[in-house]
Every structure is written in C-alpha cells, then in structure tokens.
Amino acid sequence: MRSARFRRTRRAGAITLVSALTLTALAACGTSSSDDGGGSEGGSGSSDPAAPLDPKTKVTITIDCMPPAAKAAELKEWKEDVAAFNKKYPNVTIDGRSTPGQCLEPPRFTAMLKAKSQPDVFYTYFTDLPQVLDNDGAEDITAYVNDRTVPALADIDPNVLGQLKHENKLYGLPTSNYTMGLLINRKLFEKAGLDPDNPPRTWDEVRTAAKKISDLGDGIAGFGEYSAGNTGGWHFTAQMYSVGGDVVDASGKKAAFNDELGKQVAENLHAMRWEDGSMGKTQLLKWGDLQKQIATDKLGMFLAAPDDITYMVQQLGAHYENFGMGPMPGAENTLAGGNSYMIKKGISPDKIKAAVAWLAFQNLTVGEGQFNWERKKRDDLPVGLPQPNFWLNESKKKDDAARVQHATMPVENFKTFMDNPVPGKAEPPKAQEVYKVLDNVMSGILTNEDADIDKLLDTAEQQVDQVLATQ
C-alpha cells in the first residue's frame, strides 16, 4: 500500500495512475557498469544453485524501481550501493530502470506480466504473487536462497517470507513490510484532554476519544474512514481482522464477513457517524483525503501504516512531532503486507545468483543499503519510523538501536505501537476485487443514516462469492 504513498498505490487500489517511463541512459541512471556491460555472461559460475555467485562471473541484470532523478537523495544512495556492491562483484552490471511517480501502476504491471516484458528483477507487492504465478512470471528461488547467499536469512521474520511462498516454494525476497495501527494527531489529542502517549486500545475507547475530539468543533472529525477507490473495503477488512473476524474463509472460496463480527464493525461505524457525529460530514473519501485532514489538524485519528507519516511530512508539509501511533484497536489481528522483488522466470542461473546477491546486499543486510540509517540521516531522509522492520533476534536489536541513534523524528511517539505488536494477517485473495465490493458497505454506512446493514452485508456477500468463484 516505496515512498509511503507510491508503495501503497496498487495495494490499496488508489486511482491515480502515472505513466511509467524506462530510462535507458545508463550513465544518467547511475547504473553500474563493469567492462563493456553488454549483457554477456561468462566467468566461472558454479552449477550449484545453493552456491553464492562467483565474483569472477560476468553478468548484467536489469532491475526496476530505481529511484527517479526527482528523488535526488535516494538516487545518490542507489548509486553508492551499486558501487559498494561492485567492490565484491566487479563483473556484475546493475542496469537500473526508473519509473516516475510509482512503480508500477496496476494496468501496466498486469500488461508487463502478460507480455513477459518484466525486468530480470521486478518489483511486486505481496498480494501480487497469485497474479505473477498465473502468468508464469517468477522463478522459484528456493534453491538459491540460504544462509550463504542471504547471510541474515535466519533473522528475517518467517511470516514475511511466508507471504512470498506458494506450496513451500519461495518466489521473492522482501524489501519492506507493514502492519496497520491507529495513527493519531497529538495536538488534537492534547486539546481534547486525551493522552497522546496512550492512544485508544479498544474500539469502545476509539469511539469515546473520537467524540471528545469532534466536540472541539471547527469542523474537526474525531475518526476518519475511507469508502471509495477500493480503500473502504481495504479498511473494512482491517477492522474485521482487528476484532478476530475474516473477510474470506480458509478455503479462499467464500465470503466470511456476513456474521456477528461483520455486523459489529458496521454498526459501530454507523453509530460513530450518525449518533455521535464524530466522523465528519464529508464522506466517500479515498487514499490521500484522510492524510490531508489529519495533516491540517482537522482529523484526530485513522487506521494507517507508519509510512503514511512520511508522506504527510514530505508531501503535505506536516511535522513528525505532531503524529503518534498506537496498535490496531481490538488487537486480535492487524492487516499486514509489504513489497518485494521477484526474479523473472527463465533467466540464467548466474543472473538469478546475481539478483539474489544484490537483493541480499541492498535490502536484507542490517546497516547496509536501505538499512544504513546513519547515511539516511546524513542525506536528510527520514529515520525513526517503526517500519519496515522484518528483523528478528540480534538483527532486530542492532537495527532498532541504529534507528534510535540516528532518528530524525521523536521515536517515542511510536512507543505504544512498537511495544504492543499485533499479529499480522495477510490480505484476502483477489483483494482488490473484494475491496471494491466492500466499498459499497462502507459508503452505505457512512452516507445513509437509514442504511440497512443486513442488506448491505447480504448483497456484498453474494458479490464476493461471485468474485471468488472465478479464481
């Protein structure tokens, strides 16, 4: 759901689409070049897939989602990482491809898979795995990934890696992960007499706090929700998870939200909107709307992942100090997801090894690549958000300490979120189609005081069953 916003675009079904542009001028892209870089392969590569890449092997790999020129600091760091990688693997050429705005928008991603035109190493969201496999687009990299090729493998959360597996085969390596929680406006909490260091932990507490915040007047809403652009269904799912419910049953073939828990979620939202008046009059909101409201002190809280805060600071002019995070209210489960890189089906074993080596260095090494927090602080990039954080054991201790040491924001604002982790639960199958249906439940509840909740859930159940039947 890459920067905060662009990474979530396909995950949450945001509408804005940006045309992708491939930059082929390697020098301008900061692409690594060793020798002639012509894509030829040679050297003394081992035939054993479990063996690390031989540094003598000459190979070129194409990789998408290199930072665009507009993100000067991120692009500078990419170039530095390529140079550092080439010190160990001088014969590997990293041919970086950049897509402005986001990488990639849904229609283009699907078309790319169908045309088999994806780069050797291509960016995906966790929920893309079924689509990628349906199009025979990714290599099974199980044999290539071990503690020699990915030294920190044992310290990567197996629940994160599990989202990149099918039938016990591994098809990708993570670059980030997220879990949702309750994002709050600390200023409004204080004005309403609430403790911003102790955000609500139950839905009853959310309702009480939302009423106090909305009572401040001046058009301020206490709690906000989406109901359009597939984001309403996404958040209905998150709320179902939070109370121990589900949206699709274990078989993946039937809707599971038309039950007492589904009614509980719907009725609570309806009561907050119409009885309490704590959700504001403007509805049919989608991604970006709630962020603008909370960034301008017109909204007290909403469900989000921590990286929303970066978007609000970098794009909307807000300040890190004004935000905090608590765990998902209800705390039974929280919606979890993330993004990864997969490796194109059919490329050579040496290219696969080079791709794994690059991904291990840039995305899966504490203190290096994306986890080089000291460098990020020096480059005036945000440090201190609790996610991405898929580390366990000593790697987690080391990475957490470095985030605090080099933080560019008050990390104590996220303490409640960090200290009370909620089990993550993956998005449902055919997530975007399911979310589109559930948008109707959310919009019905939030725009119609006389909404028939039973009818809304009945209709949505029938439609989701139809969606799942077409798998």
Say yes or no to pLDDT of 51 above 80. Answer: yes
Q: What average pLDDT score do residues 100-112 get?
A: 70
For 356-388, b/e burial (b = at least 16 CB within 10 A) is bbbbbbbbbbbebbbbbbebbbeeebbbbbbbb
What average pLDDT score do residues 69-91 get? 95
- Domain 4-178+338-405 CATH assignment equals 3.40.50.720: no
Is 27 a residue whose pLDDT tops 50? Answer: no
The pLDDT score that the predictor gives to residue 104 is 58
Whose CA is closest to 205, among 300, 333, 299?
300
Overall average pLDDT of the 399-414 stretch: 96
pTM (predicted TM-score):
0.82
pLDDT over 70 (residue 255): yes
Residue 303: strand pairing partners: 182
Length of the chain: 471
Record the tokens describing residue 107, joined without a space.
């229609």
Q: Alpha carbon 277 to chain centroid distance? A: 31
pLDDT value for 71: 87
Predicted confidence (pLDDT) per residue in 325-376, tens digit: 999 999 999 999 899 999 999 999 999 999 999 999 999 999 999 999 999 9
Least confident of 111-125, 132-146, 198-212, 225-239: 111-125
In whole angstroms, give the CA distance from residue 323 to residue 295.
Answer: 9
Q: What is the mean pLDDT of the chain?
A: 89
- Residue 19 CB neighbour total at 10 angstroms: 9
Asked whether this chain's domains 4-178+338-405 and 181-333+426-469 adopt the same fold, the reply is yes
- Show Cβ contacts of residue 218 under 8 Å, excluding neighbours closer than 6 positions: none
Query: Is residue 190's pLDDT more than 50?
Result: yes
Domain locations in the chain?
4-178+338-405, 181-333+426-469
pLDDT at 43: 52
pLDDT at 45 (0 to 100): 62
389 with 85: CB under 8 angstroms? no
How far is Cα 61 from Cα 39, in angstroms, rounded to an integer? 8
Protein fold of 181-333+426-469: D-Maltodextrin-Binding Protein; domain 2 (3.40.190)
Name the percent of the chain lying above pLDDT 90.
81
pLDDT band at 31 (very low <50, low <70, confident <90, very high): very low
Cα–Cα distances in angstroms (integers) from residue 412 to residues 188, 308, 319, 402, 462, in the given order: 18, 17, 15, 14, 45
pLDDT grade for 24, boundaries at 50, 70 and 90: very low
> For residue 111, what pLDDT is reported?
86
The mean pLDDT of 289-306, rounded to a whole number, is: 97
pLDDT tens for each residue of 422-453 = 999 999 999 989 999 999 999 999 999 999 99
pLDDT at 42 > cutoff 60: no
Instruction: State the chain's maximal CA–CA distance in angstroms.
Output: 72
